[in-house]
A and B are shown apart, each in its own frame.
Chain A
Amino acid sequence: MLPDPTRPPDTPPALHLEDVVKRYPSVVALSGVSFEVPPGSVTLLAGPNGAGKTTLLRILLDLASRQSGRVQVFDLDPVDAQVPVRAATGFLPEELDFPFPMLRVREVLDFQSRFRPTWDPEYAETLATELELPRNQRWRELSKGQRRRVQITAALAHRPPLLLLDEPTDGLDPVGRERVLSLLATHLAETGATALYCTHVVAEAQGLADRLVVLKRGQVRVAESVDTLRRTLFRIEFRGGEAPPTPPGGDPTPAGTGPSPAATDPTPSAAEPTLQRTDRTPSLIRREGSQMGSERWVLRGSEEAIRGWATDTGLDLLSLDTLTPAEAVLAYLSPNAPATGDPR
């Protein structure tokens, strides 16, 4: 059954993170991460390597500890409820390792099935066929792509309500990537599962996303539904003058030092978002470039507010366009984009 995207906004989130902090001896992996994932949605967790994505997934499964903050997976704290949380999750780890490399693929799947009470052997068979798994080959003889495909089968075959996917297409060739993305879309349609999909290759997965969370250096840059971003994030192109205009709301403050220009949106993606105060006053997210007499900026704010600001400023506006999710991620990853994760 498909989840109803018009579900009431008070449905409890599938994942809830509040001020999560994780410090390693020499580095802060997560510094006050907060966001929610509504049930039945697909959230792309994007960020460069080392942003803290893998650490975050491991904390959700209690494979890594946290120093402080609140974490809830379907209303359970994974520290107190490790077993049910793991049973409810299809986890695709970043590593392509398996503890018993001598086992054959069918034995690997059999091994995995023992830890998953809801394992569906028929579905596992369908997935194995779809992904062309070499059932009699030993793990140690498998290519990277083959290992990935075995792991994907193991993560989906028990139809878990939650999928935590760490770079799912890593190691796959272009055809394999397409097949896996298509399989994921079908799986989501059939199971209505909630997914947190970590990647630094956003473009290939953007069609799957309901929501985006952009993580950089352990901080949330933006956590928002794709629909809201379509309505509140725009690229403007204008004729550059001799004196550059003052950006609306001043220049973006360096990450982590300024006030939060926009709060994270805690309501599910389908709810009609009321424009936040900050969306009526546009703010500059990124200066994309200035070439051949044209300047391109990415602004956060309603279209009406941005057009109003441009008129007031006397800007010669050439175009105003929405951004694709992949472009939105890039804008928020720019060196001076404001952080909204509000580290306190």
Chain B
Amino acid sequence: MTLSYGPLRVNPSDPRPLYVQIVDEVRRAVSCGLLPPGDSLPSVRELAGALRINPNTVLQAYRELEREGVVEVRRGQGTFVAPGVRSSEVSREVARELAHRCLREAARAGLSPDAFMEALHEALPPTPDPAPAPNPDSDDAS
């Protein structure tokens, strides 16, 4: 069963440990701009209550995110998305994680990484025909 708090979703029966799921979800929210730098994260109490999980697990996730520089803990105030966080870097981390998960699934299906990559390329939406290069002269044609 999936439990949510805003955009953060966890599932206790997911094979990933709960703290890893929280870390992944916060990264995802930062990566897609739902949690911009400086925004506050829910308190440990709030998130543990909403997700019905052990507060130590939330704390563990927040510590991990702090180590990675994604969030900063301000004593007595709470946990915030680090003002200097580079969302492009976080996005890369989200992508890496997703890639690993996909490859694991592919391996389970007996697919080689190459076979999976090929299917991924095929599944990509067709790239639109390159737009005709703007005519640099068009503006001052008159």
> B13, A326: Cβ atoms under 8 Å?
yes
**Chain A residue at minimum C-beta to C-beta distance from B3:** A207
Question: What is the size category of the interface that chain A forms with chain B?
Answer: 20 to 34
| Segment of A54-62, A180-188, A254-262, A273-281 engaged in the interface with chain B | A180-188
Report the separation of the CA atoms of residues A324 and B14 in the bound assembly, to the nearest whole angstrom: 7
Shortest Cβ distance from A168 into chain B, in angstroms?
12
| 8 A Cβ contacts from A143-199 to B | 178, 181-186, 188-190
Report chain B residues within 8 Å CB of A318.
108, 110
**Interface residue SS majority, chain B:** helix
Residue A303 at the B interface, CB < 8 A? Answer: no
> A182, B13: Cβ atoms under 8 Å?
no
> A208, B13: Cβ atoms under 8 Å?
no
> B48, A5: Cβ atoms under 8 Å?
no
**Interface residue SS majority, chain A:** helix
Report chain B residues within 8 Å CB of A295.
none
| 8 A Cβ contacts from A73-114 to B | none
Among the listed B17, B44, B49, B107, which residue makes an inter-chain contact with A2, where contact means beta carbons less than 8 Å apart? B44
Report chain B residues within 8 Å CB of A40.
56
Report chain A residues within 8 Å CB of B55.
2, 185, 188-189
Proximity bits, B86-109, A CB within 8 Å = 1, else 0: 000000000000000000000110
> A185, B15: Cβ atoms under 8 Å?
no
Among the listed B13, B17, B44, which residue makes an inter-chain contact with A189, where contact means beta carbons less than 8 Å apart? B44
| 8 A Cβ contacts from B37-52 to A | 44-45, 48-52
Report chain A residues within 8 Å CB of B44.
2, 189
> A322, B13: Cβ atoms under 8 Å?
no
Residue B54 at the A interface, CB < 8 A? Answer: yes
Report chain A residues within 8 Å CB of B12.
203, 206-207, 324
Report chain B residues within 8 Å CB of A182.
49-50, 52
Residue B59 at the A interface, CB < 8 A? Answer: yes
Residue B71 at the A interface, CB < 8 A? Answer: no
Asked whether A190 and B59 contact (CB < 8 A) given A206-B12, A207-B54, the answer is no
> B45, A189: Cβ atoms under 8 Å?
yes
Report chain B residues within 8 Å CB of A184.
52
Residue B82 at the A interface, CB < 8 A? Answer: no
Asked whether A2 and B56 contact (CB < 8 A) given A186-B48, A203-B13, A324-B12, the answer is yes
Proximity bits, B1-26, A CB within 8 Å = 1, else 0: 00100000010111101100000000
Residue B53 at the A interface, CB < 8 A? Answer: yes
> A183, B49: Cβ atoms under 8 Å?
yes
